[in-house]
A and B are shown apart, each in its own frame.
Chain A
Amino acid sequence: MQSRPAPQPGLTFEYLMWLFIRISGLGLYLVALVGVTAALVMGARTQLDMGTLIRWTFFPNSGHVANAGVDLELGWVSLLWQIMQGMAVVFGVTHGMNGLRNILEDFISNKGTRLVVRVIIILLWILFLYAAFTLVLSDTL
């Protein structure tokens, strides 16, 4: 069958978030894969246990490494890892908060209630991002 004229259903909020959820899900896998691989290459094989390694991968605050009693190296706190950390935080928080919104809105048909729930979720989303990035930015050494 030949492709027929392209439908133009329009870019709706639901469509964009549906797409984001899939991309961010894959993005989180990518960040984790790169994080674990790089950590192992940088010495985690001998200096970190599995729990610490996973904590560092998903939230590579140098405190995790410090708590593990490992000497800090520049590699743990460089701009690259702060970007990776930022991506993990943005993808993770937004993915999770949108999932929460999606599930809650399954049960809400009233427009006013939906608006209130959305505002609360957006505020929580901002709070989580602010808290996470405050930790990231304070981790400058």
Chain B
Amino acid sequence: MEITLKVFRYNPEKDAKWHYETYVIEGQPTDRVLDLLEYVKGYIDGTLSFRRSCAHGVCGSDAMRINGRNRLACKALVRDVGTKITVEPLIGLKVIKDLIVDMEPFFDNYKKILPFLINETPPPADGKERYQSPEDRAIFDDTTKCILCACCTTSCPSFWANDDYVGPAAIVNAHRFIFDSRDEAANERLKVLNSMFGVYRCHTIFNCTEACPREIQVTKAIGEVKMAILRGKIK
């Protein structure tokens, strides 16, 4: 089948302004958008730039706007997005070249919530792991699935407006540790999220939940963090 692929192009060394280029190529309904981009890069225009790594929906490198919606190019099939496909970089982050955006503001916000296990209590005497019941694990199971692709954060109008807002991905990762029974730094994380650019910039519009390629209930997780602040306890 014939596929019309319209791609956002911008080379800061050559272009005064961004533009779109359209490629008409042959493809299959089961092709992924990433396959189409690889084809263009390999056979039509080697200067096309985009990030990709595992190409199997795990690394989160190839997040981009496909037909106006944030998706992973490696998980978006032609049969799902149609034969007229527009591919653009994520919005809310500065474009470096073509489909590559500067992820630094995203990761700066991620670092603010201390995304690592903090436990000052000495490990068990037998030197083995700190046990956690399946029930305790289930509480934050959903938010462990985050691959930091930035689909959620860059679908959030509050983040578009102001990248000081920590964004949904940072809150999801804070949730992952705040609700972990082995972690002891919920206070520090909640202090960050209880600030002007913490959870209160979330206006519950659910774009993040819609955008997440891992189907994490992002808005629900943000709501649970708000409730933890409100109730003063973690359950």
Show the binding face of A for B, using Cβ within 8 Å: 1, 3-4, 6-10, 12, 14-15, 17-19, 102, 105-109
Contacts and interface: CB of A to CB of B under 8 A. Distances in A.
Interface string B48-76: 00000000000000000000000000000
Interface residues of B, number: 31
Given A1-B135, A4-B181, A107 B234 contact: no
B186 interface: yes
B232 A12 contact: no
B234 A3 contact: yes
B136 A1 contact: yes
B229 A15 contact: yes
A4 to B, nearest CB: 5
A105 to B, nearest CB: 7
A106 B161 contact: yes
Interface stretch (B85-93, B111-119, B196-204, B213-221): B196-204
24 contacts: A1-B136, A1-B181, A1-B235, A3-B234, A6-B233, A7-B186, A7-B190, A7-B228, A7-B229, A7-B233, A7-B234, A9-B191, A9-B232, A12-B194, A12-B195, A14-B195, A14-B196, A14-B200, A15-B194, A15-B229, A105-B196, A106-B162, A106-B165, A109-B164
Nearest to B193: A9
B96 to A, nearest CB: 22
A14 B201 CA distance: 9
Chain A at the B interface: mostly helix, strand, loop or mixed?
Answer: loop
A93 to B, nearest CB: 20
Given A12-B194, A14-B194, A4 B162 contact: no
Given A7-B186, A7-B190, A14-B200, A108 B195 contact: no
Nearest to A22: B230
A6 B233 CA distance: 4
A107 to B, nearest CB: 5
Given A8-B187, A15-B200, 17 more contacts: A1-B133, A1-B135, A1-B136, A3-B233, A3-B234, A7-B190, A7-B228, A9-B190, A9-B193, A9-B194, A9-B229, A17-B200, A19-B230, A105-B196, A106-B162, A107-B162, A108-B162
A18 B1 CA distance: 52
B139 interface: yes
A14 B186 contact: no
Contacts of A107: 161-162
Interface in B122-179: 133, 135-136, 139, 157-158, 161-162, 164-165
A92 B187 CA distance: 34
B203 to A, nearest CB: 8
Contacts of B181: 1, 4
Task: Point out which of A1, A18, A19 has the most chain B C-beta atoms below 10 A from its C-beta.
Answer: A1
B162 A109 contact: yes
